[in-house]
Structure 1
Amino acid sequence: MHILVCVKQVPDTTEVKIDPVTNTLIRQGVPSIVNPFDKNALEAALQLKEKHGGSVTVISMGPPQAKEALKECIAMGADEALLVSDRAFGGADTLATSYTLAAAAKKLGNVDMIICGKQAIDGDTAQVGPEMAEHLNMVQATCVSKIEVAGNVVRLEREQEEGYEVLETRLPVLITVIKSINEPRLPTVKGTMKANRKEIPVWTAADLDVKEGAIGLKGSPTQVRRIFTPGQRVQGQIIQADTAREAAAGLVNKLIEAKIV
């Protein structure tokens, strides 16, 4: 079984700052990490590989420095890694990103399962995985908390607000996972040494069967007009009184003064 895991290098959200002039994220000098949900996706793939055999490939679309995220995934146990990187991909929204990643998945071929994190912590859209499935005409299941494979049959549990939904489907399938599915392992010394020696191939737009008008900014119908930090919420006021009746009367007076009632 060949499992493809999609990962994204994201800024550490505890360090994110916004440029007040351009209203864009300041990435210079901000530490980057592997998207936490994608680590859960990788761990799920590695557990399936250990149980059923096969191989795990990690793929990322991003700038050249995203190789560091891929090397961390190799250190965790992934067999192969692939970076999709080109200036032509710049400015891509989720639709253009998913289209590009789907094209890379098609070129790889023989992919039985694609696992993605539920969402990236920098965008929180949870759209790339499902959109990839649509581009690939592949069965999809989102918010998965458990994966079991028996031959060609995949049994999945999806976490719901009031319980779990159990599904069965057949390979190939695209799955997005949530954090409760597992606890990602740490990179090993042996894995880190392997990652340091690993040459990660880079595919550009010329290497993929993509349409120029469907990638990058040209292929992105969504455009961010402005990013801003909401103003600090005004703190409420506690009405002090000896009795509940006096407190209620004080509240009514405050509401009248504010012309709310």
Structure 2
Amino acid sequence: MKILVAVKRVVDYNVKVRVNADQTDVDIANVKMSMNPFDEIAVEEAVRLKEAGVATEIVVVSAGVTQCQETIRSAMALGADRGILIETGAQLQPLAVAKLLAAVVKNEQPQLVILGKQAIDDDANQTGQMLAALLDLPQATFASKIVVAEGQATVTREIDGGLETLSMNLPAVVTTDLRLNEPRYATLPNIMKAKKKQLDVTTPEALGVDVTPRLKTLKTMDPPTRSAGIIVPDVATLVEKLRNEAKVI
């Protein structure tokens, strides 16, 4: 069974992002970039399925600038077998990414597609759902447990009321939640091996996909600075401030 995993290069979660001078986006100049944490979980789950003998090949796909090759190599160091970079300098929005992934899925014909539920840069949480719709495949989002057997995937997902378990025929699209697993660390030997693994580069034009942005960002701003808290002498003062100043009761 072939598994395809989509990964995204984002600003490292430990970095405090800043808005650029013209307020059109965040400033990524000289900023540490890493694999999206939810995508790390997706890669880890694919590797575990391979280690369990369920999967035979893991293909990692990313779309973006040339430096995304580093992200793909990181996934290879974790256990992926092969990588595909859709190289473009265009600003990629969720629908464009879903179309690019759909084109790759049609070429690769994987039995399972795993993505992180969202990227930590835009928090859109749209690509997985759009991909499943474009391919007309069953989907399970926010997976906290995945079991694959006999041509079916059984996925436990977290919902507002608790847990929901879905069973679907393969091929299918699954997006991962934080509680699915804890990604491993890449060892030095595996990092060295990843440098020799196959990494193919293509373009949106070669896949026949138009990635022209459909949405326009008008302005990017830092969140407003919160004022310092105060200590009140008693409950009555607290209630008075909540009612008259904060106006929340």
TM-score (norm. length: structure 2): 0.90
The alignment partner of 2:174 has SS state of strand
TM-fit CA distance, 1:91: 1.8
Mapped to 1, the partners of 2:83 and 2:63 lie a distance apart of 11
Q: Which amino acid aligns with 1:67?
A: Q
Q: What's 1:244 paired with? A: none
**Percent identical residues:** 35
CA, structure 1 residues 40+249, in 2 after alignment: closer, same or farther (shift >3 Å)?
closer
Equivalent residues of 2:82, 2:198 under 8 A apart: no
Q: 1:74 aligns with which of 55, 76, 94?
A: 76
CA, structure 1 residues 174+237, in 2 after alignment: closer, same or farther (shift >3 Å)?
same
TM-fit CA distance, 1:99: 1.0
Mapped to 1, the partners of 2:230 and 2:117 lie a distance apart of 39
In the TM superposition, what are the counterparts of 1:114-153 in structure 2 within 5 Å? 114-153=113-152
1:226 aligns with 2:219: yes
Equivalent residues of 2:139, 2:174 under 8 A apart: yes
Mapped to 2, the partners of 1:163 and 1:135 lie a distance apart of 29
Runs of 4+ in 1 over 4 A off after TM superposition: 249-259
CA offsets 1:190-217 (integer angstroms, 9 cap, x no match): 321211223421111232132xxxx33x
Where does structure 2 lack aligned partners over 5 or more consecutive residues? Answer: none
Q: 1:84 aligns with which of 79, 83, 86?
A: 86
Mapped to 2, the partners of 1:258 and 1:181 lie a distance apart of 39
Mapped to 2, the partners of 1:147 and 1:112 lie a distance apart of 14
Equivalent residues of 2:25, 2:220 under 8 A apart: yes
The alignment partner of 2:199 has SS state of coil
Equivalent residues of 1:239, 1:251 under 8 A apart: no
Q: What's 2:18 paired with? A: 17
Q: Which amino acid aligns with 2:177?
A: I
CA offsets 1:221-261 (integer angstroms, 9 cap, x no match): 222111101221223443326xxxxx6379759977999xx
Mapped to 1, the partners of 2:57 and 2:85 lie a distance apart of 17
Mapped to 2, the partners of 1:6 and 1:237 lie a distance apart of 46
Give the aligned length. Answer: 246
The alignment partner of 1:184 has SS state of coil
CA offsets 1:37-58 (integer angstroms, 9 cap, x no match): 0010011111111112411000
CA offsets 1:158-207 (integer angstroms, 9 cap, x no match): 11233210111110000001011111111123321211223421111232
CA, structure 1 residues 72+240, in 2 after alignment: closer, same or farther (shift >3 Å)?
same
Q: What's 2:47 paired with? A: 46
TM-fit CA distance, 1:93: 1.4
Equivalent residues of 1:23, 1:226 under 8 A apart: yes
Structure number with higher helix proportion: 1
* Higher gyration radius (CA): 1
Q: 2:236 aligns with which of 244, 248, 258?
A: 248
TM-fit CA distance, 1:21: 2.1
CA offsets 1:101-151 (integer angstroms, 9 cap, x no match): 21122122x210000011101111110111111111111110011111111
CA, structure 1 residues 240+199, in 2 after alignment: closer, same or farther (shift >3 Å)?
same
Q: What's 2:97 paired with? A: 97
Q: 2:231 aligns with which of 226, 232, 238?
A: 238
Equivalent residues of 2:145, 2:156 under 8 A apart: yes
CA, structure 1 residues 255+156, in 2 after alignment: closer, same or farther (shift >3 Å)?
closer
Mapped to 2, the partners of 1:248 and 1:189 lie a distance apart of 61
RMSD (Å), alpha carbons: 2.4
